[in-house]
Amino acid sequence: MSTVFKQDYRSTYHFSPKEKWMNDPNGMVFFKGEYHLFYQYHPYGTTWGPMHWGHAVSKDLVSWEELPVALAPDENGTIFSGSAVVDWENTTGFFEDGPGLVAIFTHHLEVENQNPIQRQSLAYSKDNGRTWIKYEGNPVLKHDSFVDFRDPKVFWHEQNEEWVMIIASGQTVCLYRSPNLKDWEFSSEFGEGIGSHDGVWECPDLFLLNVDGEPSLQKWVMLVSIGADPAFTEGSRTQYFTGEFDGKTFVPDEASHAVRWIDHGRDNYAGVSWSDIPAEDGRRLFIGWMSNWMYANLTPTEDYRGAMTIARELALETRGGEIVLIQRPAHELEQARTPVLSLQDVSIGHVQEQLKDLKLVSYEIHMEWAPNQSIHFALRSGAGNETVVGIDCERNEVYVDRNQSGVSDFHEHFCGRHAAHLYTTEGNLNLRIYVDESSVEVFANDGEAVITDLIYPDASSKGISMEAKVSDIVISSLNIYELSSVKSEG
């Protein structure tokens, strides 16, 4: 009798729940040295179901400790996506001594023979997110006409000294403001006639970033995820807008009249940023759900389903005369490295020789090379599988081709080649590639183009090779690190 080995594709350095179903990241907040990550969680199944908030904490953004479910359904409904903030000044009156955490989320109520009702509610925690008390005055915000009215993201608006909420409302987002998180006043609506409307708008975010690292020039960035629609083979995706925001109204830049995606792969959805990162750190940190509503319920894992992207730092930088959203892996990931290979100023032939015997599953490649030279890697190769990642200078693009990446028969549109435009291929080119048990995340030219894709290769597919169009290219540097899950101290 033969034993069939079941692969679980469990990521080494990405967060995934120990068991059962997970989708969107929720309530991401930093408090007392801990990064909190809540998430849409179905504790009783491996497909989407009645939503709870699962919970994990980390001190380093790489190793996560899973904690008990934070929020469970109640008479107001199941617990859809939302955010969390530190109420530093006790504006809510929930806290007697010192600041505490407040979660602002959507209560989703199914009603027989009617549209579900989506209303916004609060819960608060006096013990660093370990236990939560639902506010007795829930829900705190409802709408008379929007059927889809969900995923509130709340932040403190420094200048106006009040809370601001951005919330998805069908094919638009709405902005509200509040002195105490309980009483909300409508400010404005944004989204008609602008952006992609290929699916329902979900999980918005809004935050201020320096442009080119200059505090004297800042812009607001709005993220809006759009749900999957059978008419579009891309499935669910996340777009962004840049513009001005006075606390009430968002005015998009000229550049935002074209649709811009934050990621050109298929598997980075519903991502939002962390709240309350200390000013001395100053980063805008982001995590997305590494899946796609097009096939999320069908992916070939058994005991659990769903993982998050690596944590990324967001920035605005000028590329080709345009201010664009840049993503870079959070530097904490460097702690997970074990050096495998480090080469400087070498020929393609030398690199090929060095890669020949490498067998790796969870690792990072960081390579820089001469301008205008197309190069590609074949990763997680073996057993008939390979995932191709490269830069094509004739087309000015970075791409991931997962046509032969492994198991793909669970959905007709899983296979494919996903490409992203590069603003210029005339300077030195660089690629940072993060490979894990079931994913690749590619950051090209210092994060100006990003591709996040799931892959399901055979466990034995561990090969790495590289090819170039021209054979006499010099690789200025190539570093490969194996990545493991680092252990938090203390």
For ligand FRU, the binding residues (CB under 6 A) are 23-24, 40, 51, 80-81, 106, 150-151, 202-203, 270
Residue placing its CB nearer to ligand FRU in the complex, 118 or 381 = 118
Smaller CB separation from ligand FRU, 267 or 332: 267
Looking at the DSSP bridge assignments, the partners of residue 129 are none
Query: From the CB of 204, what's the least distance to ligand FRU, in Å?
Result: 10
Does residue 124 contact residue 92 with C-beta atoms inside 8 Å? yes
Min separation Cβ 187 and ligand FRU, Å? 21
Rounded to a whole number of angstroms, the minimum distance from the CB of residue 271 to ligand FRU is 10
Residue placing its CB nearer to ligand FRU in the complex, 83 or 461:
83
Which is nearest to 34 in space by CA: 53, 61, 16?
A: 61
Q: C-beta of 202: minimal distance to ligand FRU in Å?
A: 4
**Cβ pair 85, 162 in contact under 8 A:** no
Contact 281, 412 (CB under 8 A): no
In this complex, which beta carbon is closest to ligand FRU, that of residue 294 or of residue 478?
294
Of the candidates 85, 84, 53, the one whose C-alpha atom is nearest the C-alpha of residue 71 is 53
- The conformational region for residue 27 under phi > 0 = left, psi -120 to 50 = alpha, else beta, is left
Known active-site residue 24: yes
Shortest distance in whole angstroms from residue 139 CB to ligand FRU: 14
**Phi-psi sector, 113: left (phi>0), alpha (psi -120 to 50), beta:** left
Angle at 292 between CA 291 and CA 296, to 5 degrees: 75
Active-site entry in 24, 87, 148, 401: 24
Judged by beta carbon, residue 236 or residue 373, the one nearer ligand FRU is: 236
Q: How far is the CB of 51 from ligand FRU (least distance, A)?
A: 5
Q: Are strands 117-125 and 133-134 parallel, antiparallel or unpaired?
A: antiparallel
Tell me 237's DSSP state: E
Q: How far is the CB of 146 from ligand FRU (least distance, A)?
A: 13
Burial zone of 188 (CB within 10 Å; 0-12 exposed, 13-18 middle, 19+ buried): middle
Q: Which is nearer to ligand FRU, 80 or 414 (CB)?
A: 80
Give the H or E element holding residue 218: strand 214-226
Reference 220, options 172, 158, 151, 288; nearest CA is 158
Sheet bearing 52-58, strands edge to edge: 65-71, 52-58, 34-42, 20-31, 304-305
Count other C-beta atoms under 10 Å from residue 316's C-beta: 24
Q: Is 222 exposed, middle or buried (0-12, 13-18, 19+ CB in 10 A)?
A: buried
- Closer Cβ to ligand FRU, 285 or 294, answer by number: 294
> Which residues, including other chains, have CB under 8 Å from residue 88's CB and lie 6 or more apart?
99, 156
Distance CA 438, CA 454 (A): 6
Find the shortest distance in angstroms from Cβ 404 to ligand FRU: 29
- Which residue's CB is nearer to ligand FRU, number 270 or number 316? 270
List the catalytic residues: 24
